[in-house]
Amino acid sequence: LSVRQVAQAVQLAHDIEAPTVVVVPGRRHPMVRLPVAGARRVFLRSIEDLLPVAEGLGIRIAVENTAYGVMGTAPELVALADEFNGAIGLVYDSANAIVQEDPAEGVRIIAEHLVLAHISDSPRTRWTHARVGSGDVDFARFAAALRDLGFKGTTVYELLEAKHPIAEMAEDLPQLATWGWSPATVPTP
C-alpha cells in the first residue's frame, strides 16, 4: 500500500513538474516493533521498487531523517544513499534530528546527498515541530552549516504545533531571516 501511494505521489510530482518526492524510512509502532533489520529490509525493497518508477518520470526520491523510523541519524542516511549509489537524495529535518543528534553536525555528515532542508524547533526530550525559540534547535548553527556547505536548495519551515499558524509563521520569518533564510512568499495573517 505504501509503495502504491508513493508511486502515485511520484506520478503527481511529474504531472505538476515537481522535481522530488520525499519519503520517510518507515515507522515502527511503539507497542509492536518490527526489529530494525527487518524494517530496514522492507524499506530497501520498497525503494528498489520505486526507483524505476521515479527515474522513468524524471523524479528524484529523497529520504528524510525521522525521529521515529528505521534510519533516523545522519550516518544511517548516508549509508542508505551510498547503498543506492547516489540514486536517492536526502532531506534533513532539524526537529527530527534534535532528539537524536546535533542538527548542525548531522547536516554536515549528509552534505553530498542533501537536496532539501526542513526547519522547525523541538526540545531534545519530546519530538515535535514547533515555533522558532520554543525548543533546543540552534538555528544559527544549522544555518551556518548550510552556508558552509554551499547549500542552495530549498528550506521548508514546518510548523505543526500552532494555534494560529499563518500569524505565528509570519512572526517567525523575520527571526529566520536574521540567520539567512528568506521566504519565497510571505504569508499574511
DSSP helix/strand/coil, 82: helix
Which residue shows C-alpha cell 532539501? 116
Tens-binned pLDDT, residue by residue, of the chain (189 aa): 889 999 999 999 999 999 999 999 877 666 666 777 888 888 999 999 999 999 999 999 999 999 887 888 999 999 999 999 989 999 999 999 999 999 999 999 999 999 999 999 999 999 899 999 999 999 999 999 999 999 999 999 999 888 898 899 889 999 999 999 987 655 555
Tally the residues of the chain. Answer: 189
Provide the whole-model pTM: 0.91
C-alpha cell read off for 132: 522558532
